[in-house]
Amino acid sequence: MNIQLNFINLSNDQNNSDVLIFAKNIADIENANHIAWTVIKNCGQGDSHPFVYPIDSSIGASDSWGNYTPQFPVNQGEAFEMVLTKSGDQLRTVGVTHNPNAIELLNNLNRGAINAYVYKSGRLFASKSNLAPGQKAVFQFNPTIWIGVASQVEQGEVLNSAIISEINTEISLFGIRSADIVMTGGGSGPDAKEFQFMLQNVVM
């Protein structure tokens, strides 16, 4: 079941800050790309921004020749591979993974690196770059999101380590059907406070 979320800006922010939402691939924390999955812009004081965290995901890949596969629905425990067919490089399912909570994508080409992608709501959610032949991307996600204030971040781009280190609010969505995410804090001068994000009006 999809989770209905509603971001509400109750902060004292006067800088029209962007709010960034992303996930962490716990199967490959050190090497996986963290992606700006959702960026909320121009959400003024008192405004809200509804969005959906879907349970379902899709998977795709691109090859070293600049080709992109379609997005295929994928569930936890499913494995895919990129292979060379008579028509060219194609992505196909190959069964189940050893870890029932993970998603795997193997580069089974004889030559050429690939990039692996996971999407939610049709938007890039996670990726792993430059997989050489024989290498595998493994994706696994807790039902959590990371949220914080960022600047000059565009939806779908890879986040640098500086941005990731500044965002330390993790929100668990486990068992939740809907909730408000309320942002407080901000301001300027001696009265300025750190931004905080809290769940309210939670429906389990």
| Whether residue 66 sits in one domain with residue 31 | no
| Whether residue 120 sits in one domain with residue 72 | yes
Is the pLDDT at 4 greater than 90, yes or no?
yes
- Tally of structural domains, the chain: 2
| Whether residue 114 sits in one domain with residue 157 | no
Per-residue pLDDT band for 10 (boundaries 50, 70, 90) equals: very high
Residue 70: which domain range?
57-139
| Whether residue 63 sits in one domain with residue 39 | no
The whole-model pTM stands at: 0.93
| Whether residue 74 sits in one domain with residue 36 | no
Domain end: 84, 117, 139, which one?
A: 139
| Whether residue 168 sits in one domain with residue 151 | yes
Task: Calculate what percentage of the chain has a pLDDT beyond 90.
Answer: 87
Per-residue pLDDT band for 105 (boundaries 50, 70, 90) equals: very high
Across residues 74-102, what is the average pLDDT? 96
Domain end: 83, 111, 139, which one?
A: 139
pLDDT tens-digit readout, 160-194: 988 988 998 999 999 999 999 999 998 877 878 99
Is the pLDDT at 86 greater than 90, yes or no?
yes
The predicted pLDDT at position 33 comes to: 87
| Whether residue 173 sits in one domain with residue 119 | no
Domain end: 124, 139, 154, which one?
A: 139
The 8-class DSSP code of residue 99 comes to: S
Q: What CATH number does the domain containing 12 carry?
A: 2.60.40
| Whether residue 91 sits in one domain with residue 121 | yes
pLDDT tens-digit readout, 13-63: 988 999 999 999 999 877 778 999 999 999 999 999 999 999 999 999 999
Across residues 127-151, what is the average pLDDT? 96
